[in-house]
Structure 1
Amino acid sequence: MMKTKGIVRGLALAGGLLMGVAAGAQEPGITDKTIKIGIFGPLSGQNMAYGFDVVNAAKMYYDKINKDGGIHGRKIEYVVEDDRCNANDLVAAVKKLVEQENVFMLNGGSCSAAVVAAKDYIVRNKVPYLMLNASGDGALFPPTDYIFGAFSISQYAVGGAMVEFAAKSLGAKTVAYINHDDAYGAWNLEGSKKDAEVNGVKLVVESINPTINDVTAPFLKLRAANPDAILLVTYARPAALLIKKAAELGFNKPIILSVTGTASLNQLVGNVGKDALKNFYTQEVMIDSPGGDKLKPIYDMYKAAYPDLAAKPDHPQTYMPYGIPPAMSLVKALQDAGPNPTREKVLAALKTQDFDSGVMAGRMQFGPQQRAANRSTIFIKYDGTTMAPLPGVFTSRWTYEAK
């Protein structure tokens, strides 16, 4: 009898060990009914306009997928963290989502420098990561197996597409180019040099600190070069200072503002006045101007999902639709991974993705050496009141080459 009890105990122990092994082999964040993902973005602070409604857009897309039946019988469960557009806060959010929430994959980040800070951790822990609207080139090049982004646009492509527009639509031969004096500025300048060469354009470059308060000196240097157009590849605050300075000094040639400087056009008008926008163009990575007819389904979805926010004058924020393409990419990868998804299956599916989001100007395309989804933009003539999209899609010719 004692021997029999010992055998039973041994079988029970073995069974428990086997169950433990099976549980240990289970992919993080996956159950029979759910797939847990981690979402993060700037939900507070001075840069929340870059991500608050982008996060909301991603959430409403996942809610739509769940309402339509989920993915292979599983519903998406999401956990949201605030990264405040700050590198330390973003890394802390990522660690919490991975180590405490045990998410299957990540979808977040609206600020490039902050996103790049998490690269080593994500690669070391082999977590599939899709950015929201950050370009995050420093985390995308050279490519890794785990990080995918630039669904809005790669910073390498931002300036290049602007150069192509200035040359082909405005006939510019000499272009004044103002960027930031940091890694972010170096990325877009590298791409711009390639497109300037292709389009026969002379670039006159002035790099400024993102926190600059007096732009008189750099502007006078560029004006002295007698450019045919000025390209502002900066964030919103220095861009407003430069546009206002141009008006004060009587500069009346075209000014083209990158998509990274258009967080709030209403605020721009308030800062510089309509008279400063008589010959002014903005870059847009979407298929239409914000709120335009081609994007109406996205705005209607937002109004239905967030009626209280939609009733406020400052919502949805300009970048809101940017949250849809990365969410679509994540869902497509999970669908392609099949009914028994693993991180490796999802990563393999991401590397071959190529689809039209119906939101962005260009296709979302990845490849063996390509982790930046979008390189295309449109341009809009803006006079402080009316946004008039111009014909054509402009694509940077820069491509990544291993060194």
Structure 2
Amino acid sequence: MKDRITCVWLGAALLAAGLIHSAGAAAQEPGLTEKTIKIGVFSPLSGANMAYGFDVINAAKMYYSKVNKEGGVHGRQIELVIEDDRCNANDLVSAVKKLVEQEQVFMLNGGSCSAAAVAAKDYVVRSKVPWVMLNASADGALYPPTDYIFGAFSITQYAVGGSVVDFGQQHLKAKKIGYINHDDAYGAWNLEAAQVTAKEVDVQLAVESINPNITDVTAPLVKLRAANPDMIAITTYAKPAALIIKKAHELGITKPIVLTVTGTANMSQLVENVGNKDALKNFYVQDVLADAPGGPKIKWVYDMYKEYYPDLDAKPDHPQAYMPYGIAPAMSVVKALQDAGPNPTREKVAENLRNQKFDSGVMAGPIEFGQNDRAAQESTIYLKFDGTQQTLIPGSFQSRWKYKG
């Protein structure tokens, strides 16, 4: 009898110890309680580049609110801690460190500016915090792939450059493309893929690489005019893109001009900066959504925005062009948390992200990660834009470039 009592006591003690250990392990997971899960969100919410992220973060917020209204994730409500990274590397790294070290978030969902996002790569990998980017391409943070960083929901620069060549060759039947990129790492990424794709589809590139802060684009445009390309591809930010479009018209260049998604944050501002709609008579823009902005496939996103932000929706230039881009990364976070089960850990979430695949219904292609790929999606669409109306071009277009590790 005594032995039986001893065994029962030992069993109870071991069970209690196991429960205490389990509870202690859960308590040690940052940002996680029985009722909440804390996610750190960051984007440029002020400054000259806020158009790249202000409404993107609003879209993510409204999606998380929708999830919370529907019961959260395994009964936990998503709690957001939001920081302004100002599209600046130092500010972004500071924001990430604050979220991880002071706010003790469970994971990160942020970043709208590529160069700034790349600056946080080493810290995030060392900290082993799962990071799902918003709309930054941030190729330098995605390649080589790591276990904790996932992005390019709005496609990488490698996809940007290869896709625009694919579109030029397929839709515009271009044999020679005048290609304008930035003379930095951002520009080198898209140019590398453009060159790979051009070689595969037998297209010649005439390349002009310019400083992102250029104020006079006459010289590169004169060189391109002399090269007599069948089209001009612009893979720059919005300000130099407007200068290029305006100068091309002044120089009598009438060949098609295609602006990649890198310069389309505010289309009405672009039109204003160009100053002449005649410059847009043969003009196309690249996008990564499943449909034209406001089109039937993604109308639900714009309807949700109007419901959540009626005051913003009533203002000019809202929702901003990149707004829908915030939905797919938030979906990715929620799916990874759901798939990790009722007792998630950072490692479980990261592992689920590494094998994630789903159709967002928002972006041009499926969201898919793999063991050697951290770029969420690689498909693009194109629209003809006359300064007022955007007309969808049938089909989707892709880069031929692949990471070979």
**Equivalent runs, 1:178-327 vs 2, <5 Å:** 178-272=180-274, 273-327=276-330
Q: Separation in 1 of the partners of 2:26 and 2:166?
A: 52
User: Shift in Å at residue 36 of structure 1?
Assistant: 0.3
Gaps of 5+ in 2: 1-16
Tell me, in whole angstroms, the C-alpha distance in 2 between the residues paired with 1:159 and 1:21: 50
- Amino acid across the alignment from 1:139: A
In the alignment, the residues of structure 2 paired with residue 363 and residue 21 of structure 1 have an alpha-carbon distance, to the nearest angstrom, of: 38
Sort the Cα spacing of 1:23 and 1:366 in 2 relative to 1 into closer, same or farther, 3 A: closer
Corresponding residue for residue 169 of structure 1: 171
Residue in structure 1 matched with residue 355 of structure 2 by the alignment: 352
Give the deviation of 1:19 after TM superposition: 7.8
Determine helix, strand or coil for the equivalent of 1:357: coil
> Partners of 1:309 and 1:277 in 2: how far apart?
28
Query: 1:290 and 1:74 mapped to 2: Cα distance?
Result: 33
Distance 2:23 2:77 in 1: 25
For 1:377, what is the secondary structure of its paired residue? strand
CA distance in 1, matches of 2:346, 2:22: 20
Cα deviation digits, residues 157-189 of structure 1 (max 9, x gap) = 101000000000010000010000000000111
Q: 2:35 aligns with which of 33, 39, 48?
A: 33
The count of corresponding residues between Structure 1 and Structure 2 is 387
The one-letter amino acid of 2:298's match is L
Distance 1:224 1:205 in 2: 12
Instruction: Measure how far apart 1:25 and its partner are.
Output: 5.7
Letter in 2 for 1:206: E
Paired residue secondary structure (2:394): coil
Map 1:21-170 → 2, pairs under 5 A:
22=24, 26-170=28-172
Return the alpha-carbon distance in structure 2 between the equivalents of residues 347 and 118 of structure 1: 17
Give how far 1:276 is off.
Answer: 0.3
Q: Which of these residues, 335, 339, 343, is aligned with residue 336 of structure 1? A: 339
CA distance in 2, matches of 1:267, 1:309: 17
Deviation >3 Å, runs of 4+ = 18-21
Amino acid at match of 1:178: I
For the residue of structure 2 that corresponds to 1:170, the secondary structure is coil
Once the two structures are TM-superposed, the CA of residue 294 in structure 1 deviates from its matched residue by: 1.9
Q: Is residue 26–residue 32 contact of structure 2 (8 Å, CA) maintained in 1?
A: no
Amino acid at match of 1:268: L
The normalised TM-score by structure 2 is: 0.94
Percent pairwise identity: 70
Check whether the contact 2:27–2:33 (CA below 8 A) recurs between aligned residues: no
How far apart are residue 311 of structure 1 and its match?
A: 1.2
CA distance in 2, matches of 1:23, 1:149: 29
- Partner of 1:38, secondary structure, is strand
For 1:78 and 1:142, the matched residues in 2 are separated by 29
Question: What is the one-letter code of the residue matched to 1:81?
Answer: E
Q: Which amino acid aligns with 2:319?
A: P
Contact 2:268–2:317 (Cα < 8 Å) also in 1: no
TM-score normalised per structure 1: 0.94
What corresponds to 2:373 in structure 1?
Answer: 370
Deviation at 1:21, TM superposition (A): 9.1
Report the Cα distance in structure 1 between the residues aligned to 2:179 and 2:189, rounded to whole angstroms: 13
User: CA offset at residue 293 of structure 1?
Assistant: 2.2
**How big is the shift at 1:384?**
0.8
Deviations 1:284-309 (A, max 9, x none): 10011222222110001011111111
Q: Which residue identity is paired with 1:258?
A: T
Q: Distance in 1 between matches of 2:336 and 2:299?
A: 26
- List per-residue Cα deviations over 1:23-82 (Å, max 9, x = no partner): 686210010011100000000000000000000000000000000111111110110000
State the secondary structure of the residue aligned to 1:30. coil
Q: Structure 1: how far apart are the matches of 2:352 and 2:231?
A: 42
Shift of 1:263: 1.0
- What's the secondary structure of 1:393's corresponding residue? strand
Q: Could you say which residue in structure 1 is the equivalent of 2:6?
A: none
CA distance in 2: counterparts of 1:201 and 1:229, whole angstroms: 11
**Aligned-pair CA distance for 1:105:** 0.2
CA distance in 2, matches of 1:20, 1:175: 61
CA distance in 1, matches of 2:297, 2:55: 19
